Amino acid sequence: MSFKALGLSAELHRAVSEKGYSTPTPIQKQAIPVVLEGRDLMGGAQTGTGKTAGFTLPLLQRLMETDKPRKGRRPLRALVLTPTRELAAQVAESVRDYGRYLPLRSTVVFGGVSINPQKMKLIKGVDILVATPGRLLDHVSQRSVDLSSIDILVLDEADRMLDMGFIHDIKKVLALVPKNKQTLLFSATFSNDIKKLANGLLKSPALIEVARQNAATDTVTQVVHPVDKSRKRELLSFLIGSNNWQQVLVFNRTKHGANRLAEQLNKDGITAAAIHGNKSQGARTRALADFKAGSVRVLVATDIAARGIDIDQLPHVVNFELPNVAEDYVHRIGRTGRAGNEGEAMSLVCVDELKLLKDIEKLIKRDIPKDVIDGFEPDPSIKAEPINRGRGGGGQQRKSRPANKRPSRPGKNARQRNNGHGNSDATPWQKQRSSKKRPGNQQQNRNAA
């Protein structure tokens, strides 16, 4: 089946062809006809499957088909909400590329940059706006945007927006848009919160799931390298150098940890840059551009900043630290193996992270192969220590003890905190105790967008 067979206009088909695409992906094949019919849609798909084009192409055609004569400033007719700046920029680029032969105007707004140039574009009038929730509400308060004429609303990566604490902002936006509109909700996971949001927002939506939720793509080879925490950076440098990797995306749980790791890699002679929510938008854009261009070999990112990083044929993803939330593992490794290409995803796992690893394997319903690198064998005498379980990767990481110093005997409270980790009579990599999960900190990550 071709894109033309899906009912797209000649202008859109021409733009798609110029991008080098001839055959729609499964999510595009199923979603495009539904959106063209004007129906609400609740879509779930693995990352890297062409989801953005799945809603962008029919959205553009719907706006052309329902265009009305207008006087004065162009009314805003389509709104796409995304959780992060990078994803907003990526979606806006797709809108611009696919709509190049259509007389539609679009722009993107997000935080971290001056609001005034954005205001000027909005005041002139646009048909399509891509935005992060926080900056959109800033424009609403300054009266530079009017949401009362919205015909199509898209919530992209709704699961991440809720994780990042955007639910209150989203509710404010929903109160400003017309009730009689077409709504498209895309989410990698359909949690109870997502279903509740959908029930109050969508009207008899079509449900499309092109693959089993929380499944890693088959084009990504996964492996775990057991290693002591104090030797992770040394192992990472060894893997990059000995294998001559030229483009590696590395994930860290915290902003501070990402900065520190990038600095250490640079000292090792490996060009690296960090990208996270505390970086200015200019610094984030430069780091990503340098990484894509090859002048930076390693990009160290937190989970929040990594949403929207779309790099063609990215060969390697490394989990320097496992994510606190198992679903984020799927999103991380989905940065490689995209569009049918093959990729590698490696996780450097210390004894502290065995519970996180177990949660990930339970989620993806498979055991990840373990490969101990010669010279980096983990010390079986090291006992597990607790990990900050907060969501979002913005919390401060606890300080690790020196590698040559044994911990003092914990008191009663410390022993209670450690009740989720390894048996004192067994090697931690061989046996784990049962664990009681503690609720994570629901951090507000609005600044990250």
What are the tens digits of pLDDT across the range 309-346?
667 678 899 999 999 888 888 878 877 866 556 789 99
pLDDT, tens digit, 9 for 90 and up, residues 230-254: 999 999 999 999 999 999 999 999 8
Asked if residue 225 and residue 205 are part of one domain, the reply reads no
- Residue 168 backbone dihedrals phi, psi, to 5 degrees: -70, -40
Secondary element (H or E) of residue 152: strand 152-155
Closest CA to 392 of 329, 304, 286, 262: 304
Same domain as 235, residue 188? no
Asked whether residue 185 falls in the same domain as residue 315, the answer is no
Tell me which residue of 177, 179, 204, 150 sits closest to 40, measured CA to CA: 204
Are 166 and 295 within one domain? no
Do 350 and 431 reside in the same domain of the chain? yes
**Whole-angstrom distance, CA of residue 10 vs CA of residue 14:** 6
Q: What are the residue ranges of helices labelled H in 82-231?
A: 85-98, 116-124, 133-141, 158-163, 167-174, 192-201
- Whether 284 and 275 have beta carbons less than 8 Å apart is answered as yes
Final residue before a domain boundary, out of 162, 183, 209: 209
User: What are the tokens at 356?
Assistant: 């996180």
Domain that holds residue 188: 4-209
44-48, 111-115, 298-302: range with lowest mean pLDDT? 44-48
Domain end residue (candidates: 209, 243, 274): 209
Q: Is 449 contained in some domain? A: no
**Which is higher by pLDDT, 42 or 74?**
42
Q: Same domain, yes or no, for 122 and 230?
A: no
Q: CA angle, corner 137, sides to 134 and 139, nearest 5?
A: 115
The total of other beta-carbon atoms located within 10 Å of residue 252's CB is: 25
Give Cα 65 to chain centroid, integer Å.
32
Residue with the bigger pLDDT between 6 and 338: it is: 6
CA distance 25 to 190: 21
| Residues 135 and 62 occupy one common structural domain | yes
* Secondary structure of residue 223 in the 3-state scheme: strand
**What mean pLDDT do residues 36-47 have?**
86
**What backbone phi and psi angles, to 5 degrees, belong to 244?**
55, 45
Query: Does the structure show a pLDDT above 90 at 361?
Result: yes
Q: Does the residue 214 lie in any domain?
A: no
Highest mean pLDDT among 123-127, 404-408, 412-416: 123-127
282 vs 398, residue with greater confidence: 282
Summarised one tens digit per residue, pLDDT across range 95-123 is: 999 999 999 999 999 998 899 999 999 99
Is residue 177 domain-resident? yes
Q: How far from each other are the two terminal CA atoms of the chain, in whole angstroms?
A: 37
More confident of the two residues 389 and 206? 206
CATH of the domain at 265: 3.40.50.300
For residue 316, the cross-strand partners are 248, 344
Q: What is the pLDDT of residue 312?
A: 67
Query: In terms of Cα–Cα distance, which of 146, 97, 89, 92 is closest to 122?
Result: 146
Dist. CA 369–CA 232, nearest whole Å: 18
Please choose, from the candidates 195, 190, 203, 156, the residue with its C-alpha nearest in 3D space to the C-alpha of residue 38.
203
Torsion of CA 220, 437, 380, 382, to 10 degrees: 120
Instruction: Answer yes or no: is pLDDT of 403 > 50.
Output: no
Same domain, 332 and 418: yes
- Residue 397, both tokens: 């990481």
pLDDT, position 331: 79
Q: What percent of the chain has pLDDT over 90?
A: 53
pLDDT of residue 443 exceeding 50, the answer is: no
In a domain, 406, yes or no: no
274 and 160 within one domain:
no
Indicate whether 126 pLDDT > 50: yes
What's the whole-number mean pLDDT along residues 427-443?
A: 44
Same domain assignment for residues 237 and 114:
no
Pair (254, 131) in one structural domain = no
Q: Would you say residue 273 has pLDDT above 60?
A: yes
- Dump strand ranges (E) for 233-342: 248-251, 272-275, 298-301, 316-319
Cβ neighbours for 85, distance < 8 A, ≥ 6 positions apart: 110, 111, 112, 132, 281, 284, 308, 449
Beta strand pairing status for 78-81 and 128-131?
Answer: parallel
Kindly state the average pLDDT of the residues 76-90.
92
Instruction: Please count the structural domains in the chain.
Output: 2
Q: Select from 190, 209, 228 the last residue of a domain.
A: 209
State whether 178 and 311 are in the same domain: no
What proportions of the chain, in percent to the nearest 5, are helix, strand and coil? 40, 15, 50
Could you give the CA distance from residue 176 to residue 184 in angstroms, rounded to a whole number?
A: 17
Q: Please state, in angstroms and rounded to a whole number, the distance separating the CA atoms of residues 49 and 353.
A: 30
